[in-house]
Each structure stands twice: as structure tokens, then as C-alpha cells.
Amino acid sequence: MRPPVLEVIGLTVEFATDRGPLRAVDGVSFRVGAGETLAVVGESGCGKSVTSLAIMGLLPPGTRLGGAVRLLGEELLGQPGRAWQGRRGRDLAMIFQEPMTSLNPAFTAGEQVAEALRLHEGLAPRAAMDRAVEMLARVRIPEAARRARQYPHQLSGGMRQRVMIAMALACRPRLLIADEPTTALDVTVQAQILALLDELKRETGTAVVLITHDLGVVADHADRVAVMYAGRIAETAPADTLFARPEHPYTVGLLGAVPAIEGGAGRLASIEGTVPDLRRPPPGCRFAPRCPFAGRDCEAQPPLAEVGAGHAAACWRAPLDRMLAA
């Protein structure tokens, strides 16, 4: 069997802080196959962005990493030194929320896309620029040749994010990590960018890890979902299953907390309280202090256990139908 494009096994990430160690990611495992989109969803501080930075090898030196990150079967974390060198931008690429901070203001859009092609594909400057213009046209930038000569500040937010996508996909990476790629954009532009990402993924078979807080985006664009809470995966399932039969109370609350445009006005489900301080996490299930179903047994950590086909939840109460029967 071919290995998945990305396999993360028991990943832990620990930062040293003034007030003691902070374990931002605590035993996260998932895999992503070619042409598949895995959405990692959760709220601020759940560890979703730290997970993506760990996969990219972009965490600051001194961060303590544990577990395994395998790209095409090859371990990245265990290797001394420069496991990512030559792979970033080529085999794995990333797009960030804020394109303005990720683009170099001193180079034109075309130069920045061409740089990746020169570096990783060894193209001559002229050929690289031609391919860059082609890439800009592929991400539907109108008048690509003219836009290629413009600087980031001359482009709109949506246009900049397209340039970022062109850069990330120029070398046809096997894995693309998109960290809140449309959060800074207006909703009509967001729809354009997400449709574009779907289309490019279908064409190239790139595996995509989509980091987002937006369950609507997950519903429309993900094949599988991992819901994170306080550094751990609370639930993972095929996207359709997650929305039809969520089995973790956090997922249930989160789905009810999103104000929907259909269904009219009414009270939203609300998860009382706030996320725990990861320097002093509660014992056992980290969601227990906010969970309406919690009991004494939740002081022991529930395993991420299978509840259906490809569907696992870290909850002693799953399947939750028992809660309704009671």
C-alpha cells in the first residue's frame, strides 16, 4: 500500500514560557492522502496553527517536538538538521491568512512566483518568469502579464491571496497547508478563492490540510475533518458524518454556536466558560469543565475511540444517543 502523503503520529509541541512549559499540541495523529482535503478546525489556541507550523518545520528553535511527521513515508521530525531544506516550497507548501505579510513588498508578484521556480526547478530567469505568468493566469488573475509586473501593494487582498496560491502551487507540491487562507477576505472573494483551491487540487492531486475556524468552509470544502480542542483532537470523521452525527459534545456545541443564515432568529447554543489555560490543563478530558454531559469519570482522559466508519471521538459519553435516551 502506498503511504499517505502526510502522516502525523502522536505529535506533541511544547513551548517554554515564563510561567512554565506549555503543551500546545498533545498527541495529535492524522493522515492525508493524495487529492484529499483534511480540515483541522477549532478555536483560537486549540493548537491547529501550531500543528501546521510543526509539519512545515517552521517552529522556533527550542520548541520541544515529539511524535512523528512523515511526508511520503519519510520521517521529518527525527532527522537531525535540515529535513525540510529543499522540501519546503517543493514537496510541501503553505499559504497563510494574511498575504500582505507573506509577500515581499520589494519584489513584483511575477518575481516572487518565478523565484520558487528558479530555486526548485532550476529554470532560467526568462523561462521562470514565463511560467510565473502562466501560474498567475491559472489562479485567474486577469491580465496576468501586467499584474506580474506589479508590486503587492498595488494588488487587492483577494489578488494577493491568488499570488500566494500561485507561489505555493508553482512547483506542484504534494502537500499544501492552507492556514485560514480566506479569513482576511470578504465573503464574495472568499468564495472565489476556495473554489479555485478545490479546482487546483482536483487537477494536481495535491493533498490539502485546511486549517480553519469556519465550520461553513469545512462543510463545503473538506473531505475529512479533525476537530481540535485545547491541543487534542476531540473528534475526527468524514465531513458528511461529522455534520450528520457529531459524537463529541464540543462538536455538538460548536455546530450550534454558529449563527446560520437560514432558520431565522433565535438563541444560539452556547458553550459556557472559556478554553482552559494550557499551562494548567484540567485533568482528563479538557472539555469537561464546559460540558453539560460531564461527570466524575471525565477526570480520566478518554481515548480517541472508534464510533463508526472512519469516525472517532474522545469522549466517554459517545455515542451520545445514550444521553438522549436518559
Partner 1 sequence: MTALLELAEVARHFPVRDALGRARGAVRAVDGVSLAVPPGSVLAIVGESGCGKSTLGRLALRLIEPDAGAIRFLGEDLRALSPRALRARRRDMQMIFQDPFASLDPRMTVEDAIAEPLRLHRIVPRGGERARVAELLERVGLRPEAARRWPHEFSGGQRQRIAIARALASGPKLVIGDEPVSALDVSVQAQVVNLLRDLIRDLGLTFVLISHDLGVVRHIADRVAVMYLGRIVEEGPAAEVFADPRHPYTRALLAAVPGMGAKAVPIEGDPPSPIAPPPGCRFHPRCPHAEALCRAEAPPLAGGAHAAACHLQSRLPPPPVLRGPDRGGERLRRLQSFFGAPAPQPETTGINA
3-state secondary structure string across 273-293 = CCCCCCCCCCCCCCCHHHCCC
Residue 18 in contact with partner 1, rule: CB under 8 A:
no
User: Any contact of residue 293 with partner 1 (CB under 8 A)?
Assistant: yes
Please pick, from the candidates 246, 278, 298, 314, the single residue that binds partner 1 as defined by CB under 8 A.
246
Closest separation between CB of residue 278 and partner 1, Å?
A: 14
Residue in this structure with the C-alpha cell 511575477, named with its chain if needed: 110
Cell of residue 286, nine digits: 479538557
Pick from 270, 279, 299, 322 the residue near partner 1 by CB under 8 A: 270
Span near partner 1 by CB under 8 A; candidates 13-21, 64-72, 116-124, 190-198: 190-198
Only segment of 32-40, 172-180, 202-210, 245-253 that touches partner 1 (CB under 8 A)? 245-253
* Other beta carbons less than 10 A from residue 154's beta carbon: 12
Cell of residue 13, nine digits:
509541541
Q: Nearest Cα to 36, choosing from 219, 248, 204, 266? A: 204
- Is residue 188 at the binding interface for partner 1, with CB under 8 A as the rule? yes
Looking only at residues 199 through 228 of this chain, which bind partner 1 when binding is defined by CB under 8 A?
Answer: 213-221
Size of the site for partner 1 (CB under 8 A): 57
Integer angstrom CA distances of residue 116 from 2, 269, 298: 28, 46, 49
CA–CA separation, 63 vs 46, rounded Å?
Answer: 17
194 binds partner 1 (CB under 8 A): yes
State which residue, 8 or 95, has the beta carbon closest to partner 1. 95
Under the binding rule (CB under 8 A), the answer on residue 118 touching partner 1 is: no
Q: Letter for the amino acid at 139?
A: V
According to DSSP, the residues that pair with 1 across neighbouring strands are: none
Distance CA 145, CA 191 (A): 24
Q: Establish if 43 lies at the interface with partner 1 (CB under 8 A).
A: yes
Instruction: Tell me which of 16, 124, 268, 300 binds partner 1, using CB under 8 A.
Output: 268
Out of 16, 124, 258, 305, the only residue in the binding site for partner 1 (CB under 8 A) is: 258
271 binds partner 1 (CB under 8 A): yes
Among 52, 102, 190, 236, binds partner 1 (CB under 8 A): 190
**58 to 11, 168, 183, 304: CA distances (angstroms):** 15, 16, 21, 27
What is the DSSP secondary structure assignment for residue 88, as one 8-state letter? B
Q: Residue written as cell 492556514? A: 179
Contact set with partner 1 (CB under 8 A): 43-44, 156, 158-159, 186-192, 194-195, 213-221, 240, 243-246, 249, 252-272, 274, 292-293, 320-321, 323-324
